[in-house]
Amino acid sequence: MAVEMELKQKVKIIALEKGAAYFGVADLSLAVGGTTPYEAKLVSKYPVAISIGATVLNSIVDSVNEPEDSYALKNYWYHVYEVINPKINDILLSVSNALVDAGFDALMVPASQTVDTGNLYGLFSHKMAANLAGLGWIGKSCLLITHDRGPRVRWGTVLTDAKLIPGRPLLGEGCGGCMMCVEACPAKAFSGRDFKRGEPREARMDPKKCLHYIYVERKKAAGIEACGLCVYVCPFGKKSRTGKQRKN
């Protein structure tokens, strides 16, 4: 137990010192029934996930409230994909190397990695890892919602066979009757259903509607493949303007 705690603290310190705002450990045995076939294959090899989160500046998110402002949308896209995601990936690599140096296997799952563009699937769900680590719940927008920053957080994951003490999954959800993200979605991609573990994502979201809006309609109207309205309207994210970032 002491060795497990020492290793967890070591990789946590590495992550926080490199700029992570969130750090958590998930027991992936709890993901059974809620994974894609490929995720299930990975879970059979890597029983633990380390979840890393980095926040997006409020000023950047708040700028997307005008969908026709192409300058703001392009800045939002650049900030997320060229600034925040590389930062997360750098943290993931350092954490992975530390685990390997300690004698364990580690598989880095980069931020925003999409391996199935037709269905909008990544190699492994960052949101599932963060949820099982207790860092937030999955909202009606299918985004990971934190209490203090809402969905204004980008995520990355390291899968490992290291025996790390996991956090407690956040089984409940805090959205309640709020439907702001559902109503704000210009693609009408969300059904409004609450997250239910083991239920397919498609019960809550039509990824093809989202993809068509971003890659066809947004590209044509604003010259950029970006939206962000579901991130912008979430009340939990808007509360963060006066709050402080939490490092778990």
Q: Is 77 left (phi over 0), alpha (psi -120 to 50) or beta?
A: alpha
**Residue 197 binned pLDDT confidence (cut-offs 50, 70, 90):** confident
Is residue 205 pLDDT above 70, yes or no? yes
Predicted pLDDT at 50:
98
The percent of residues in the chain predicted with pLDDT above 70, rounded, is: 93
138 pLDDT higher than 90: yes
User: Higher pLDDT residue, 13 or 70?
Assistant: 13
Query: Range with the lowest mean pLDDT among 14-28, 73-87, 208-222?
Result: 208-222
Tell me, what's the pLDDT at 12?
Answer: 97
CB 128 within 8 A of CB 19: no
User: What are 63-94's pLDDT values in tens digits?
Assistant: 998 878 889 999 999 999 999 999 999 999 99
pLDDT digits (tens, 9 = 90+) for 103-117: 999 999 999 887 877
pLDDT for 33 equals 67
pLDDT at site 247: 44
Distance between CA atoms of 42 and 35, rounded to whole angstroms?
A: 10
Between 244 and 58, where is the model more confident? 58
CA 199 centroid distance within chain: 18
Average pLDDT, rounded, for the chain:
89
Question: At residue 58, does pLDDT exceed 90?
Answer: yes
- Integer Cα distance of 22 and 246 in angstroms: 7
- pLDDT for position 244: 46
- Please tell me which residue, 44 or 5, carries the higher pLDDT value: 44
**Res. 45: pLDDT tops 50:** yes
* Residues with catalytic function: 116
Q: What percent of the chain has pLDDT over 90?
A: 65
Residue 216 has pLDDT above 90, yes or no: no
Q: Does the reported pTM lie above 0.85?
A: yes
Q: Is the pLDDT score of 172 beyond 60? A: yes
Domain boundaries, the chain: 2-241
The answer, yes or no, to whether residue 245 has pLDDT greater than 60, is: no
